[in-house]
């Protein structure tokens, strides 16, 4: 079984999120999604609209996702790859090169982002309304 792992906040779920999850799942048999906890988001200076628990529940309902785990630190990625016996690590290409250190442990793939959509854009658009 080929396992794929990706990370993100996954707040205000949109078509870009769904597309990256679908493409990540197509790279293997089992997709693990690590979701930033509320505490970790605070350390990053981010605030999600939905709580970690709510975002986890939403992701667990998506047919492409097999397992949702918490992301609590930047440093946990190597441990997660080893713990879950991950074959492929996937992130959006806005992170290109930043996780190449994982190539010692698994394949690293950066997928193109969906043009014209992002959580940041949605939040900005909603401020105008």
Kindly report, residue by residue over 71-81, the tens digit of the pLDDT.
999 999 999 99
Q: CB atoms < 10 A from the CB of 87, how many?
A: 18
pLDDT at 17 over 60: yes
**Cβ distance 4 to 90 under 8 Å?**
yes
pLDDT in the model for residue 39:
97
Q: Which of 2-6, 9-13, 101-105, 114-118 has the lowest mean pLDDT?
A: 114-118
Q: If you average pLDDT over every residue of the chain, what do you get?
A: 91
Which of 2, 15, 22, 44 is catalytic? The answer is 44
| Percent of the chain's residues with pLDDT above 90 | 75
Confidence label for 121 from pLDDT (cuts 50, 70 and 90) = low
Buried b (16+ CB within 10 A) or exposed e, 12-43: bbeebbebbbebbbebbebbbbbbbbbebbee
Mark whether 77 is an active-site residue. no
**Residue 14 — very low, low, confident or very high, per pLDDT cuts 50/70/90?**
confident
* Model pTM score: 0.89
- Annotation marks residue 44 as catalytic: yes
- In this structure, are residues 96 and 109 in contact, taking their beta carbons and an 8 Å threshold? no
């Amino acid at each position: 079984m080929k396992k794929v792992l990706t990370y993100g906040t996954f707040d205000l779920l949109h078509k870009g999120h769904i597309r990256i999850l679908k493409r990540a799942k197509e790279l293997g048999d089992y997709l693990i999604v690590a979701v930033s906890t509320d505490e970790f988001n605070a350390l990053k200076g981010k605030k999600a609209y939905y709580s970690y628990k709510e975002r986890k529940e939403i992701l667990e309902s998506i047919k492409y996702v097999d397992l949702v785990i918490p992301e609590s630190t930047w440093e946990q990625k190597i441990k997660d790859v080893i713990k879950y016996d991950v074959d492929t690590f996937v992130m959006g290409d806005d992170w290109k090169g930043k996780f190449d250190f994982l190539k010692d442990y698994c394949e690293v793939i950066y997928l193109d982002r969906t043009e014209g959509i992002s959580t940041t854009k949605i939040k900005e658009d909603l401020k105008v309304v």
